[in-house]
Structure 1
Amino acid sequence: MILYPAMDLIGGSAVRLRQGDFDAVTRYPTAPAEALDAFAEAGAAWAHLVDLDGAKAREPRQHALIAELARGSRLSLQVAGGFRETDQLARMFDAGVARVVIGSLAVERPELVNDWLDRFGAERITLSLDVRLVDGEPMVSTAGWTRDSGRSLWDVATAFPAARHLLVTDIGRDGMMAGPNFDLYRRIGERLPKVAVQASGGVSSLADLDRLDTAGAIVGKALWDGAFTLREALAHARA
C-alpha cells in the first residue's frame, strides 16, 4: 500500500479543515517546502497536496506554489484543487507533478475528463469521489461537499473505463479521527477491481493502516496532530 502524507494549503500555509468547513481551520507553522522535505526524510515516496483556495474558488489559486514545490521536491506529488482546463494540467505535469486529482469535474464534465485520461494517460490522473452514505449506498457529493449529485459512486466510476486511480473519501469520516470506512473500501474493491483505490478519511491509528486493504491511503490529520509518526505509518503500510 502506498501511503500519501497529505498537506492542505490555504494562502500558502499548511492547514487542516474539520469536515471541509473553511470556518474550522487548524493552521500549522511548518512551511510547505519544509514539510515535503520532512516527508521525504521519513521515507515517503509520495505526497498528496490540495489547493483548498482553488478547490473553493473552482479555479487555480495556488498552482504557482504547487509548481514550485514540485520542482524542488524529491517526492512524487499528487495534487488537487481548481483544475478546470487542459492547460492547467499540462502546467502541473511540465513542473514535474506526477498525478493530478480531478473531483467534481468528473461528475459535471465526464467527456472532458475521459479526454484527459486519453491525452495524458491513466497513470497521471486520479479521480476523486467524495461520498455520503444514504441508506447504505455511497452517493457522490460535489462542490466541496455542498451539492448532492444524486448519483452513486458506482454510477460515476463506471463512466471512466480507462481510469486506473480512484480516491474515495467518506465525508462522514474525514478529519474525525474515527477510523476509515473499512466496509466501504471492501465493497469498492469487489465492484471496481481494475482500479487502484486510495482510502481517504478517518485514519487515526496504526491499526487502521494494518486493516486497510487498498492500493493507497491518504493520511493527514493523524500525522499533523502527532497520533503517530510518518516513519511508523510507512512501516505499517508496507507490512
Structure 2
Amino acid sequence: MEIIPAIDMQGGRCVRLYQGDFQRVTVYDDDPVAVAHRWVAQGAPRLHLVDLDGARSGHPVHTDIIRAIVQSVDAPVQLGGGLRSIAAVERALELGVQRVILGTAAVHDPELIRQLVQQFGDAIAIAVDARNDMAATAGWTETAAISAIDLVERMAALGVRRVIYTDIARDGTLSEPNIATTRALVRPGGPAIIASGGISTIDHLRRLAEVGVEGAIVGRALYTGDLSLSDALAAVQ
C-alpha cells in the first residue's frame, strides 16, 4: 500500500481545509515546492497535489508551482483540481504529471471520462468525494444526486481503473477514515481504491491495508506531526 502525502495549494501556499470548507483553512507552508522536496526526501513514493483554487474556478490555477514540483522531484505526481476538459488534462500531462484526477467531470460529464480513459488509460483517476455518502462536486461545494458507491460503479463501467475515495466529513479532522464505505468500494476486478480523509494513525493505515486499498493519502496528520511519514512507510512495508 502506497503512503501518499497530500499537498493542497491555495493562493500559492500549502494549506489544509477542515471538512473541505474553504472558510476553515490552515496555512502550513508558503512554499509548496519545498514541501514536495521534503516529503520525497523522507521517502514518499508519490505526491498528491490538489489545486484548490482550480477546483473552485473550474480551471487549473497553480500551473507554475505544479510545473516546478514535477520538474524537480524524483517521484511521480498525481494532480486534481479544475481538470474538466480534454485540453486541461493534456496540459497537465504535458507538465509531466503522471496521473490526473477528475471529480466534478465524473458526475456531470461521464462521456468525457469515457473519452479520456480511451485516450490516456492509467493516467486517468477519478475522485469520488462524498458527503453523507453522496458525491460532491465543484470543489466540494455542491452535492450530486448519486451515491459514492453508485458513482464508482458507473466509472468502472466506463473503464476507469483507479478511484480516490474521500469522506469529506472526515477530511482534515484527524478523526479516522471511513473504513466501512472504503471496504464496500474495494471489489475483485473493480477499480483500485486509494483512501483519503481522516487518516491520522498507524492503526488507520493498517486497517486500510487489511481492506485492500492500493494507497492512502495523508494530509493534515503529516503537517501537524500526529503521524510521521517514516513511521507510516515502515508500518505498511
The alignment's TM-score, normalised by the length of structure 2, stands at 0.93
Counterpart in 1 of 2:225? Answer: 226
Q: Structure 2 unaligned runs (5+)?
A: none
Please tell me the residue identity of whatever aligns with 1:228.
L
Cα separation, 1, equivalents of 2:64 and 2:115: 24
Give RMSD over aligned pairs. 1.4
Counterpart in 2 of 1:112? Answer: 112
Q: Structure 1 unaligned runs (5+)?
A: none
SS at match of 2:174: coil
Cα separation, 1, equivalents of 2:205 and 2:221: 12
Please state how far the C-alpha of 1:14 moved relative to its aligned partner: 0.4
Alpha carbons 1:18, 1:176 under 8 Å: kept: yes
Counterpart in 1 of 2:196? Answer: 200
Alpha carbons 1:7, 1:49 under 8 Å: kept: yes
Cα separation, 1, equivalents of 2:223 and 2:184: 29
> Is it true that 1:185 corresponds to 2:182 in the alignment?
yes
Please tell me the residue identity of whatever aligns with 1:211.
R
> Is it true that 1:164 corresponds to 2:166 in the alignment?
no
Task: Kindly report which structure 2 residues correspond to 1:26-175, keeping only aligned pairs within 5 A, or say none.
Answer: 26-29=26-29, 31-121=31-121, 123-133=122-132, 138-160=133-155, 161=157, 162-175=159-172
Alpha carbons 1:36, 1:75 under 8 Å: kept: no
Counterpart in 2 of 1:211? Answer: 207
Cα separation, 2, equivalents of 1:114 and 1:232: 39
- Taking structure 1 as reference, are residues 30 and 43 closer, same or farther at Cα in structure 2, changes over 3 Å only? farther
SS at match of 1:167: strand
The alignment's TM-score, normalised by the length of structure 1, stands at 0.92
User: C-alpha deviations, 1:53-83, integer Å up to 9, x for none?
Assistant: 1111111211232122211221100111111
Please state how far the C-alpha of 1:193 moved relative to its aligned partner: 4.2
Which runs of structure 1 show a deviation greater than 6 angstroms over 4 or more consecutive aligned residues? none
Aligned length: 232
Cα separation, 2, equivalents of 1:220 and 1:38: 14
Please tell me the residue identity of whatever aligns with 1:148.
T
Alpha carbons 1:51, 1:62 under 8 Å: kept: yes
Identity percentage of aligned residues: 38
